């Protein structure tokens, strides 16, 4: 049980630090946030992905776990997208809501929870591979296309270049580099690996502090027009996505026991702060990203504990 609470405490404490800084020094906090977002996006997060993926057997998780994680996420995103179309929401809001309802916080809290519940980090790496090799480039490409159309820069050449840059974003390149290190025999040189690991690990608390600053600057659920979107996205993340993971992993793929528990628990993790970072960096509306991240971070713990209890 300690793994569950450790996973959630590593989120709560840095977020509270960000909130405190924003309350006590609001002007300084704004400058901090402007600096933290590109630092995490371009440097810390990619190096974190290098270290996490490099320390895992990519062949083991790419077979069943990664496609399963991807399928559950896409089904959850499709449910929100259908709601968004029927509710006639702006396309940017639909994209951010879909990502909020399908992008799990596996990087920093998934590891202790998976180790506690399954005894292996394989389900975590599977989620990371699915998200960072497929979902992140997909959403970033969509965000870029939306921004391009909004500002009237719709030339075909511009679109192709934007799509290439989106697919080859820093985080995805970090995952690819980590996969290469994992597949190549031997260990990387320690004088190089230690600084890479150190900088990568700094990305998680920095991202959480930036999220805490943003949270204090705008209270969650303060925008009433976004409440319906928030609720649907939260339901997608905490109910639809774990349900899809169970259906795909159990009845369809035949997973049982700890393997199935790990898959469902990873799908029930809260929305990642990366959604806010990606949306903010690409000029998308961030209200739903902040609200859903906050709500799922609070509600995910009882959901994961319920999964552990129901599935043994």
Average pLDDT over residues 104-124: 69
> Residue 2 above 70 pLDDT?
no
Average pLDDT over residues 286-306: 87
pTM attached to this predicted model: 0.75
Which pLDDT belongs to residue 158?
58
What ranges in the chain are assigned the alpha helix state H? Answer: 2-24, 26-39, 45-54, 58-62, 65-86, 91-100, 106-117, 122-130, 136-150, 156-167, 170-183, 190-217, 227-235, 241-247, 257-267, 274-281, 287-310
Average pLDDT over residues 281-299: 87
pLDDT in tens, 141-182: 888 888 877 666 545 555 566 566 666 778 778 878 888 888
Which pLDDT belongs to residue 30?
84
pLDDT in tens, 201-221: 888 788 778 878 877 776 778
C-alpha dihedral, 108 to 109 to 113 to 119, nearest 10°: 0
Which pLDDT belongs to residue 73?
95
pLDDT band with cut points at 50, 70 and 90 for residue 63: low
Mean residue pLDDT across the chain = 83
Which pLDDT belongs to residue 100?
95
pLDDT in tens, 7-31: 667 777 888 898 899 889 988 888 8
Exposure b/e, 47-62, CB count within 10 A at least 16 = b: bbbbbbbbebebeebb
Cα–Cα distance for residue pair 144/114, rounded to 1 Å: 33
> Residue 278 above 60 pLDDT?
yes
Which pLDDT belongs to residue 194?
93
The number of residues making up the chain comes to 312
Cα–Cα distance for residue pair 46/203, rounded to 1 Å: 9
**DSSP state string for 46-60:** HHHHHHHHHTS-HHH
Contact indicator for 200, 44 with CB cutoff of 8 Å: yes
Which pLDDT belongs to residue 137?
79
Residues above pLDDT 70, as percent of the chain = 84
pLDDT in tens, 65-102: 788 989 999 999 999 999 999 999 999 999 999 999 99
Which pLDDT belongs to residue 8?
66
pLDDT band with cut points at 50, 70 and 90 for residue 60: low
Which pLDDT belongs to residue 207?
79
> Residue 231 above 90 pLDDT?
yes
Which pLDDT belongs to residue 89?
94
Which pLDDT belongs to residue 306?
84
Cα–Cα distance for residue pair 90/117, rounded to 1 Å: 40
pLDDT in tens, 236-258: 999 999 999 999 998 888 888 87
Which pLDDT belongs to residue 272?
86
C-alpha dihedral, 242 to 215 to 82 to 87, nearest 10°: 140
Average pLDDT over residues 119-145: 80
Which pLDDT belongs to residue 75?
97
């Amino acid at each position: 049980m300690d793994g569950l609470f450790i996973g959630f405490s590593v989120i709560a404490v840095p977020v509270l630090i960000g909130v405190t800084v924003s309350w006590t020094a609001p002007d300084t906090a704004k400058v901090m946030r402007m600096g933290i977002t590109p630092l995490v996006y371009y440097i810390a997060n990619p190096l974190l992905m290098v270290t996490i993926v490099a320390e895992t057997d990519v062949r083991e998780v790419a077979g069943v776990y990664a496609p399963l994680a991807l399928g559950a996420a896409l089904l959850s995103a499709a449910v929100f997208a259908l709601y968004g179309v029927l509710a006639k929401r702006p396309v940017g809001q639909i994209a951010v809501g879909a990502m909020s309802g399908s992008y799990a916080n596996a990087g920093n809290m998934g590891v202790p929870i998976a180790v506690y519940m399954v005894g292996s980090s394989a389900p975590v790496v599977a989620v990371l591979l699915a998200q960072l090799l497929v979902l992140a480039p997909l959403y970033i490409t969509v965000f870029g296309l939306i921004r391009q159309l909004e500002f009237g820069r719709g030339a075909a050449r511009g679109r192709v270049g934007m799509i290439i840059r989106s697919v080859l974003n820093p985080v995805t390149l970090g995952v690819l580099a980590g996969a290469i290190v994992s597949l190549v025999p031997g260990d990387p040189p320690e004088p190089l690996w230690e600084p890479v690991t150190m900088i990568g690990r700094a990305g998680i608390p920095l991202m959480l502090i930036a999220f805490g600053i943003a949270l204090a600057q705008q209270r969650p659920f303060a925008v009433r027009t976004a409440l319906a979107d928030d609720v649907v996205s939260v339901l997608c993340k905490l109910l639809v996505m774990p349900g899809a993971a169970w259906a795909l992993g159990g009845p369809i793929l035949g997973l049982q026991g700890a393997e199935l528990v790990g898959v469902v628990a990873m799908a029930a993790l809260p929305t990642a702060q990366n959604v806010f970072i990606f949306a903010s960096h690409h000029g998308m509306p961030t209200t739903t990203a902040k609200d859903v991240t906050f709500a799922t971070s609070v509600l995910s713990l009882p959901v994961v504990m319920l999964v552990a209890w129901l599935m043994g």
